[in-house]
Structure 1
Amino acid sequence: MKTAFVTLLAAVLCVEQAYPLLCYVCQEEESNKNCLTISMCAKEDKHCVTIRSNVGTKPDKPKYVLSKMCSPTCPATSQQQNQTHQRVFCCEKPLCNVNGVSSKQSSYGVMSLGVLASITYPFARGQ
Protein backbone atom coordinates (compact mmCIF):
# COMPACT_ATOMS: atom_id res chain seq x y z
CA MET A 1 0.00 0.00 0.00
CA LYS A 2 2.75 2.45 0.94
CA THR A 3 4.71 1.67 -2.23
CA ALA A 4 1.63 2.15 -4.40
CA PHE A 5 0.93 5.52 -2.79
CA VAL A 6 4.50 6.76 -3.29
CA THR A 7 4.50 5.52 -6.89
CA LEU A 8 1.21 7.28 -7.57
CA LEU A 9 2.51 10.50 -6.05
CA ALA A 10 5.67 10.35 -8.18
CA ALA A 11 3.57 9.77 -11.31
CA VAL A 12 1.33 12.76 -10.49
CA LEU A 13 4.36 15.02 -10.08
CA CYS A 14 5.72 13.94 -13.47
CA VAL A 15 2.48 14.24 -15.46
CA GLU A 16 1.79 17.35 -17.47
CA GLN A 17 -0.21 19.86 -15.57
CA ALA A 18 -4.00 19.47 -15.87
CA TYR A 19 -4.89 21.75 -12.96
CA PRO A 20 -4.01 25.38 -12.22
CA LEU A 21 -0.36 26.05 -11.45
CA LEU A 22 0.78 26.43 -7.83
CA CYS A 23 3.40 29.08 -7.08
CA TYR A 24 4.93 30.73 -4.07
CA VAL A 25 3.70 34.31 -3.65
CA CYS A 26 4.84 37.30 -1.60
CA GLN A 27 5.43 41.02 -1.95
CA GLU A 28 8.76 42.72 -1.21
CA GLU A 29 10.04 40.40 1.52
CA GLU A 30 13.60 40.77 2.78
CA SER A 31 14.05 37.05 3.35
CA ASN A 32 13.06 34.00 1.33
CA LYS A 33 11.83 32.33 4.54
CA ASN A 34 9.04 34.94 4.61
CA CYS A 35 8.24 34.20 0.98
CA LEU A 36 6.84 30.68 1.17
CA THR A 37 3.08 31.22 0.91
CA ILE A 38 1.57 28.88 -1.70
CA SER A 39 -1.13 30.13 -4.04
CA MET A 40 -3.19 28.51 -6.76
CA CYS A 41 -2.71 30.54 -9.93
CA ALA A 42 -5.37 31.62 -12.37
CA LYS A 43 -6.07 29.27 -15.27
CA GLU A 44 -4.22 31.52 -17.74
CA ASP A 45 -1.06 31.74 -15.59
CA LYS A 46 1.72 29.56 -16.98
CA HIS A 47 4.75 30.88 -15.05
CA CYS A 48 5.90 31.18 -11.47
CA VAL A 49 7.96 34.36 -11.19
CA THR A 50 10.46 35.63 -8.64
CA ILE A 51 11.70 39.21 -8.79
CA ARG A 52 14.75 40.14 -6.75
CA SER A 53 15.09 43.91 -6.46
CA ASN A 54 18.17 45.70 -5.20
CA VAL A 55 16.80 48.45 -2.97
CA GLY A 56 19.99 49.26 -1.10
CA THR A 57 21.55 52.66 -1.49
CA LYS A 58 25.10 51.61 -0.61
CA PRO A 59 26.99 49.82 -3.41
CA ASP A 60 29.18 47.91 -0.93
CA LYS A 61 26.14 46.71 1.09
CA PRO A 62 23.31 45.84 -1.29
CA LYS A 63 19.88 45.22 0.14
CA TYR A 64 17.44 42.97 -1.71
CA VAL A 65 13.73 42.32 -1.52
CA LEU A 66 11.91 39.38 -3.09
CA SER A 67 8.51 39.29 -4.72
CA LYS A 68 6.99 36.06 -6.02
CA MET A 69 3.87 35.63 -8.12
CA CYS A 70 1.94 33.80 -10.81
CA SER A 71 2.03 35.24 -14.31
CA PRO A 72 0.61 34.40 -17.76
CA THR A 73 3.95 35.40 -19.33
CA CYS A 74 7.54 35.69 -18.20
CA PRO A 75 8.40 39.38 -17.64
CA ALA A 76 11.61 40.87 -19.03
CA THR A 77 14.59 39.04 -17.51
CA SER A 78 16.20 42.07 -15.90
CA GLN A 79 15.48 45.76 -15.64
CA GLN A 80 17.18 48.83 -14.29
CA GLN A 81 15.02 51.72 -13.24
CA ASN A 82 16.49 54.73 -11.45
CA GLN A 83 18.76 53.29 -8.75
CA THR A 84 16.89 49.99 -8.51
CA HIS A 85 18.08 46.88 -10.33
CA GLN A 86 15.76 43.88 -10.71
CA ARG A 87 16.51 40.27 -11.59
CA VAL A 88 13.59 38.21 -12.84
CA PHE A 89 13.45 34.41 -12.63
CA CYS A 90 10.67 32.44 -14.35
CA CYS A 91 9.75 28.76 -14.33
CA GLU A 92 6.80 26.65 -15.45
CA LYS A 93 6.39 23.80 -12.94
CA PRO A 94 4.40 23.68 -9.68
CA LEU A 95 6.18 25.47 -6.81
CA CYS A 96 9.34 25.88 -8.89
CA ASN A 97 9.95 29.41 -7.56
CA VAL A 98 10.81 28.11 -4.09
CA ASN A 99 14.15 29.93 -4.05
CA GLY A 100 13.98 31.91 -7.28
CA VAL A 101 17.62 31.64 -8.23
CA SER A 102 18.03 28.14 -9.63
CA SER A 103 17.16 26.85 -13.02
CA LYS A 104 13.66 25.50 -13.42
CA GLN A 105 14.90 21.92 -13.63
CA SER A 106 16.84 21.97 -10.38
CA SER A 107 14.09 23.86 -8.51
CA TYR A 108 11.52 21.33 -9.64
CA GLY A 109 13.78 18.46 -8.69
CA VAL A 110 14.42 19.84 -5.21
CA MET A 111 10.71 20.51 -4.71
CA SER A 112 9.79 16.99 -5.84
CA LEU A 113 12.31 15.40 -3.50
CA GLY A 114 11.04 17.53 -0.62
CA VAL A 115 7.43 16.53 -1.23
CA LEU A 116 8.32 12.85 -1.54
CA ALA A 117 10.47 12.95 1.59
CA SER A 118 7.78 14.69 3.64
CA ILE A 119 5.18 12.11 2.62
CA THR A 120 7.33 8.99 2.92
CA TYR A 121 8.94 9.92 6.27
CA PRO A 122 5.81 9.21 8.35
CA PHE A 123 5.33 5.87 6.53
CA ALA A 124 8.94 4.90 7.20
CA ARG A 125 8.47 5.69 10.89
CA GLY A 126 5.28 3.63 10.97
CA GLN A 127 2.94 6.49 11.89
Structure 2
Amino acid sequence: MALPDTLERIGIVVGSTFLLSLPTSTLSSLVYGFGSGAGFPPALWLLPGLVVGVLAATDRLAVSYHQLWKFSLTSYFLASLGGAVFDLQTVRLALAVGWWLVAVVLGAVVARVRFRELLWPTGDSSA
Protein backbone atom coordinates (compact mmCIF):
# COMPACT_ATOMS: atom_id res chain seq x y z
CA MET A 1 0.00 0.00 0.00
CA ALA A 2 3.00 2.32 0.29
CA LEU A 3 3.57 2.61 -3.46
CA PRO A 4 0.04 3.84 -4.29
CA ASP A 5 0.21 6.39 -1.47
CA THR A 6 3.60 7.61 -2.68
CA LEU A 7 2.38 7.89 -6.26
CA GLU A 8 -0.71 9.77 -5.11
CA ARG A 9 1.43 12.25 -3.19
CA ILE A 10 3.71 12.74 -6.19
CA GLY A 11 0.62 13.36 -8.32
CA ILE A 12 -0.64 15.96 -5.86
CA VAL A 13 2.70 17.79 -5.92
CA VAL A 14 3.00 17.72 -9.72
CA GLY A 15 -0.65 18.65 -10.26
CA SER A 16 -0.49 21.48 -7.75
CA THR A 17 2.66 22.78 -9.36
CA PHE A 18 1.03 23.02 -12.76
CA LEU A 19 -2.35 24.22 -11.50
CA LEU A 20 -0.99 27.04 -9.38
CA SER A 21 1.28 28.19 -12.18
CA LEU A 22 -1.84 29.39 -14.01
CA PRO A 23 -2.67 32.37 -11.76
CA THR A 24 1.03 33.12 -11.29
CA SER A 25 1.60 33.25 -15.03
CA THR A 26 -1.23 35.71 -15.46
CA LEU A 27 0.57 38.08 -13.09
CA SER A 28 3.49 38.08 -15.50
CA SER A 29 1.14 38.64 -18.43
CA LEU A 30 -0.62 41.53 -16.69
CA VAL A 31 2.64 43.20 -15.69
CA TYR A 32 4.65 42.67 -18.87
CA GLY A 33 1.86 42.43 -21.45
CA PHE A 34 0.06 39.56 -23.10
CA GLY A 35 1.94 37.75 -25.81
CA SER A 36 5.31 39.06 -24.75
CA GLY A 37 8.09 36.84 -23.52
CA ALA A 38 8.30 35.73 -19.94
CA GLY A 39 8.83 38.76 -17.73
CA PHE A 40 10.33 36.71 -14.97
CA PRO A 41 11.64 33.15 -15.15
CA PRO A 42 8.96 30.49 -15.58
CA ALA A 43 10.53 28.63 -12.67
CA LEU A 44 9.02 31.35 -10.47
CA TRP A 45 5.61 30.45 -11.87
CA LEU A 46 6.09 26.89 -10.62
CA LEU A 47 7.50 27.70 -7.18
CA PRO A 48 4.22 28.57 -5.35
CA GLY A 49 2.55 25.42 -6.66
CA LEU A 50 5.50 23.27 -5.68
CA VAL A 51 5.46 24.61 -2.12
CA VAL A 52 1.68 24.26 -1.77
CA GLY A 53 1.77 20.80 -3.36
CA VAL A 54 4.38 19.52 -0.93
CA LEU A 55 2.48 20.97 2.02
CA ALA A 56 -0.84 19.54 0.83
CA ALA A 57 0.63 16.10 0.06
CA THR A 58 2.17 15.85 3.52
CA ASP A 59 -1.06 17.04 5.21
CA ARG A 60 0.56 20.21 6.52
CA LEU A 61 -1.86 22.45 4.67
CA ALA A 62 -5.59 22.02 5.21
CA VAL A 63 -6.71 22.18 1.58
CA SER A 64 -8.07 19.49 -0.68
CA TYR A 65 -6.96 18.89 -4.22
CA HIS A 66 -10.45 19.90 -5.34
CA GLN A 67 -9.99 23.29 -3.66
CA LEU A 68 -6.68 23.75 -5.50
CA TRP A 69 -8.50 23.14 -8.78
CA LYS A 70 -11.24 25.65 -7.96
CA PHE A 71 -8.78 28.29 -6.77
CA SER A 72 -6.44 27.94 -9.74
CA LEU A 73 -9.05 27.95 -12.47
CA THR A 74 -11.12 30.75 -10.93
CA SER A 75 -8.10 32.98 -10.31
CA TYR A 76 -6.73 32.34 -13.79
CA PHE A 77 -10.08 33.02 -15.45
CA LEU A 78 -10.76 36.22 -13.49
CA ALA A 79 -7.24 37.60 -13.94
CA SER A 80 -7.29 36.86 -17.67
CA LEU A 81 -10.79 38.25 -18.05
CA GLY A 82 -9.85 41.46 -16.25
CA GLY A 83 -6.73 41.81 -18.34
CA ALA A 84 -8.68 41.43 -21.55
CA VAL A 85 -11.76 43.48 -20.65
CA PHE A 86 -10.03 46.36 -18.90
CA ASP A 87 -6.97 46.34 -21.21
CA LEU A 88 -4.68 46.33 -18.18
CA GLN A 89 -1.38 46.05 -20.01
CA THR A 90 -1.73 49.63 -21.22
CA VAL A 91 -2.57 51.00 -17.78
CA ARG A 92 -0.39 51.49 -14.76
CA LEU A 93 1.38 48.63 -13.05
CA ALA A 94 -0.43 49.16 -9.73
CA LEU A 95 -3.83 48.66 -11.34
CA ALA A 96 -2.74 45.44 -13.05
CA VAL A 97 -1.27 44.00 -9.84
CA GLY A 98 -4.34 45.16 -7.90
CA TRP A 99 -6.66 43.36 -10.29
CA TRP A 100 -4.54 40.21 -10.01
CA LEU A 101 -4.80 40.37 -6.21
CA VAL A 102 -8.58 40.75 -6.47
CA ALA A 103 -8.70 37.69 -8.75
CA VAL A 104 -6.59 35.69 -6.27
CA VAL A 105 -8.79 36.68 -3.32
CA LEU A 106 -11.96 35.80 -5.24
CA GLY A 107 -10.35 32.49 -6.22
CA ALA A 108 -9.68 31.76 -2.55
CA VAL A 109 -13.29 32.58 -1.67
CA VAL A 110 -14.61 30.30 -4.42
CA ALA A 111 -12.27 27.53 -3.28
CA ARG A 112 -13.53 27.72 0.30
CA VAL A 113 -17.27 27.95 -0.39
CA ARG A 114 -19.13 24.67 -0.72
CA PHE A 115 -21.71 25.50 -3.35
CA ARG A 116 -23.50 22.15 -3.20
CA GLU A 117 -24.29 22.65 0.48
CA LEU A 118 -25.51 26.19 -0.20
CA LEU A 119 -27.74 25.19 -3.09
CA TRP A 120 -28.99 21.86 -1.76
CA PRO A 121 -28.90 21.83 2.05
CA THR A 122 -28.94 18.34 3.53
CA GLY A 123 -30.13 19.43 6.97
CA ASP A 124 -33.13 17.94 8.70
CA SER A 125 -36.29 19.91 7.87
CA SER A 126 -38.45 18.44 10.64
CA ALA A 127 -38.05 21.35 13.05
User: Hey, which of these two has a bigger chunk of helix by percent?
Assistant: 2
In terms of fraction of residues, the more strand-rich structure is 1
Common topology (TM > 0.5): no
By relative contact order (CA 8 Å, sep 6+), the higher-ranking structure is 2
TM-score normalised to structure 2 length: 0.29
State the TM-score, normalized to the length of structure 1.
Answer: 0.29
